[in-house]
Amino acid sequence: MVDAVENLLRTARAPVAAEVDWAFWRDSARSLGRDHPTIAREAMPASGGEAPVSGSRFKDKRNARSALDAVRDAHGPVLERMLAEIRRRNYSIRTEQAYESWVCRFVLFCGNQDPAEIDVVRIRAFLEDLAVSGNVSASTQNQALNALAFLFKQVLGRSLDGLGDFTRAKRPKLLPVVLEHSEVGKKAVKTRIYHVF
């Protein structure tokens, strides 16, 4: 990668190319381990519902199999299609992991039913359950909604127009910070001191 960046800058005749210590960057470059998310993602089988190999997408499990593992086994082809679409769009590995987890939780909530057969009423019920029973934050509920919207729109080709309104998780109320005149003066002095150093 260092060579590629250097070649690009030198080809573009960018003045900064002469200012960079390219030998330093080459010497300090390191290879990523097989368990690093970026490398592990590439080791994952692309399709076919094959089981992940050791050292693939996620770290090896050290605890007992969970209900989510059973969902992954039962609905591997749909999940693989979703992951392939996420990778095609160059989403981050963390987004990929979060979306897969939310879809598995949703399928489990629906009694391990095939996602292609689930209607928007169940999506609404799941999102409301997260807010009411799960007591999740608004951002967590939004992440779950985004994962399900991605699955239904981009993978299954279905519309979520009938979703309608649902109970939203409450956003925390932030109290405004009010400073007295003396406190404003102290803050200004501290700010000036920090900028000097």
List the domain boundaries for the chain.
1-30, 33-196
Q: Look at the pTM and tell me if it is higher than 0.85.
A: no
The domain 33-196 is placed in CATH, from the list 1.25.40.10, 3.90.1150.200, 2.50.20.10, 1.10.150.130, at: 1.10.150.130
The series of mean pLDDT values per 10 residues for the chain, 197 residues long, is 86 89 81 67 50 46 80 90 91 92 93 90 90 86 91 90 73 70 64 47
- What pLDDT does 41 receive? 64
Per-residue pLDDT at 24? 85
The residue among 118, 82, 116 whose CA lies nearest residue 99 is: 82
Is 156 within 8 Å of 116 (Cβ atoms)?
yes
184, two tokens:
């404003």
Residue 47: predicted pLDDT: 45
